[in-house]
Amino acid sequence: MIGGDEALPSGTWRVHRGGAGRPLLALHGFTGGGAEFGPLTQRVGAAWIAPDLPGHGGTTAPATFTAAVDDLARLVGAPTFDLLGYSLGGRVALALAAAHPHRVRRLVLVGASPGLASLGERARRRGVDAERAAQVEAAGVADFLAAWQAQPLIATQARVDAPTRDVMRAVRAGHTAAGLAASLRGMGTGAMPPLWDALAHVSCPTLLVAGAEDPKFLAIAQRMFERLPRAEVWPVPGAGHCAHLEAPARFAERLGAFLADD
């Protein structure tokens, strides 16, 4: 994939592009970057568009859900496109699909959530994310990431293959404390508008992916399945939260087949 800066009225986006075919917008998770999809582009044929989300890498656009959704719709350009999102990127992808239902042809969500339904839950989570933002500002990116990656939810990334881990390390080296803090405050789960009620209006075929070893997000996927009109749930054997990179061959095969269906 080739990365480059693309200017929009809100700011500059660093966008990684590669491949050919139908456009596929791919959105990474918190502390990740668009370049992490590079290994998958070699397995799945599509015109990949993988931006660094606000607060990450070379993107300087504001870290808010509303701004991100509007900008991403502009970045793709094509009238319709396929959409893939992981974790934070999955929440943004779902918001994009809800805001532009006629543009998203097929939707793939990996370890994703429609947000927190109650005001109390969102307020508590905003408090947690504010504490994390203060931690990254005080400790710096390296120390914060060491603690972040030690969490059980993230620790399963240790099974990611060595070449992809090298890409992930390079991506994280480009982050700033200010950027990650802004993402936590503006795009954390507590800041996200809840989308549970919007699921009924996401009419495109949707693949809900969760690692079989990620029970929290597998349960969320099952709850989403009950509300989405055209969804299926895929528990990925031998994978945790980062299923698309922990089991890349299995994921690429299923993704390719799902996107190939008319």
Could you tell me the CATH number of the domain that includes residue 107?
3.40.50.1820
Based on DSSP, count helices (H) and strands (E) in the chain, helices before strands.
11, 8
| pLDDT tens-digit map of 29-86 | 999 999 999 999 989 999 999 999 999 999 999 999 888 998 999 999 899 999 999 9
The two tokens of residue 28 are 């990474």
pLDDT above 80 (res 234):
yes
- Domain encompassing residue 92: 2-260
pLDDT of residue 226: 97
- Upper half-sphere CA count for residue 247 (Cβ side, 13 Å): 20
pLDDT of residue 66: 86
pLDDT of residue 43: 93
| pLDDT tens-digit map of 78-136 | 999 999 999 999 999 999 999 999 999 999 999 999 999 999 999 999 999 999 999 99
To which residue do tokens 């939707």 refer? Answer: 107
Active centre residues (catalytic)? 87, 214, 241
pLDDT of residue 24: 98
Gap between the Cα atoms of 68 and 88, Å rounded? 12
pLDDT above 90 (res 261):
no
Gap between the Cα atoms of 247 and 84, Å rounded? 16
Looking at the chain, the whole-number percentage of residues with pLDDT higher than 70 is: 100
The count of structural domains within the chain is: 1
Gap between the Cα atoms of 67 and 99, Å rounded? 12
- pTM for the model: 0.97
* Residue 229 or 153, more confident: 229
pLDDT of residue 148: 93
pLDDT of residue 258: 97
pLDDT of residue 10: 87
pLDDT above 80 (res 262):
no
Mean pLDDT, residues 251-262: 92
Q: Please provide residue 13's backbone torsions phi and psi, each rounded to the nearest 5 degrees.
A: -115, 135
Partners of 3 in beta bridges? 16
pLDDT of residue 1: 86
Query: What mean pLDDT, rounded, does the chain reach?
Result: 95
Q: How far is CA 87 from CA 96, 108, 261, in A?
A: 14, 11, 24
Q: Please provide residue 166's backbone torsions phi and psi, each rounded to the nearest 5 degrees.
A: -60, -40
The two tokens of residue 165 are 């881990």
